[in-house]
Amino acid sequence: MISVNDLKTGLTLELDNGLWAVIEFLHVKPGKGAAFVRTKLKNVSSGNVVEKTFRAGEKVMKAMLDRRAMQYLYKEGADFVMMDTENYEQISLSQAQIGDGIKYLKENMNLSVLLHDGKVIGVDLPMQVELEIVDTPPAEKGNTAQGGTKRATTETGAIVNVPFFVQNGDKIRVDTRTNEYLDRC
């Protein structure tokens, strides 16, 4: 149990028979009355976002999460096979369990899998990945004066806006949180 005064963004709580991640929190001390903590919580399994207000000092149950280092091996049908890097145990994850990170998955990529009571609740990818460009239109003479961007498709199927000088076959670094081009490798 932790006090709501100690809440932080990203912390996972057990509330109302579910797991909730703290998205935002604000400690409010009005001139009159007791202090309170206003939070925005996201349900880990359904993705629903709710606002909840707690009295200052109220206790809530912190969820015990297990973070395991795993390696993505291959895709088998609709499932993605991961291997625990400590005990070499393999598990299959669905597209829903991985989420939007699917568009960055490459074979032999290392990532973190979050488990609660032995059940997978999320996957954390590295903040940056190196991907090869497989399809992008060529830069035309004269359209680079303003430093614009063009759409490019990567080897994993992710579509990223890249500068005009990037060509097919180039390796680029992409931020997995924002889907933004960082630099050319």
State the pLDDT confidence band at 142, using cuts at 50, 70 and 90: low
Q: CATH fold of 128-184, please?
A: OB fold (Dihydrolipoamide Acetyltransferase, E2P) (2.40.50)
**This prediction's pTM:** 0.71
Fold agreement between 66-124 and 128-184: yes
Taking 80 as the threshold, does the pLDDT of residue 144 lie above it?
no
CA distances from 116 to 41, 44, 131, 140 (A): 18, 11, 31, 52
CA-to-CA distance for 54 and 178, rounded, in angstroms? Answer: 31
Tens-digit pLDDT profile for residues 5-63: 888 888 889 998 888 989 999 999 988 889 999 999 988 877 789 999 999 889 999 98
Q: What are φ and ψ of residue 89, in 5° steps? A: -75, 140
Q: What pLDDT does residue 87 have?
A: 92
Per-residue model confidence (pLDDT) at position 146: 66
Instruction: In whole angstroms, give the CA distance from residue 163 to residue 185.
Output: 14
**Residue ranges covered by each domain of the chain:** 2-62, 66-124, 128-184
Residues 6+ apart with CB under 8 A from 142: none
Question: Distances in Å between the alpha carbon of 102 and those of 19, 41, 96, 148?
Answer: 23, 24, 9, 27
Average pLDDT of span 139-152: 73
Instruction: Classify 66-124 by CATH class.
Output: mainly beta
Give the Cα-Cα-Cα angle 90, 93, 95 (nearest 5 degrees).
Answer: 155
Cross-strand pairs, 149: 163
Is residue 143 very low, low, confident or very high in pLDDT (cuts 50, 70, 90)? low
- Tens of pLDDT along 153-183? 999 999 999 988 889 999 999 998 889 999 9
Q: Which of 25-34, 71-80, 99-108, 135-144 has the lowest mean pLDDT?
A: 135-144
CATH classification for the domain delimited by 2-62, as one of 2.30.30.30, 1.10.287.110, 3.30.565.10, 3.30.930.10 = 2.30.30.30
**Tens digit of each residue's pLDDT (9 = 90 or more) over 104-135:** 999 999 999 988 888 888 888 899 999 999 99
Phi-psi domain of 142 (left: phi exceeds 0; alpha: psi -120 through 50; beta: other)? left
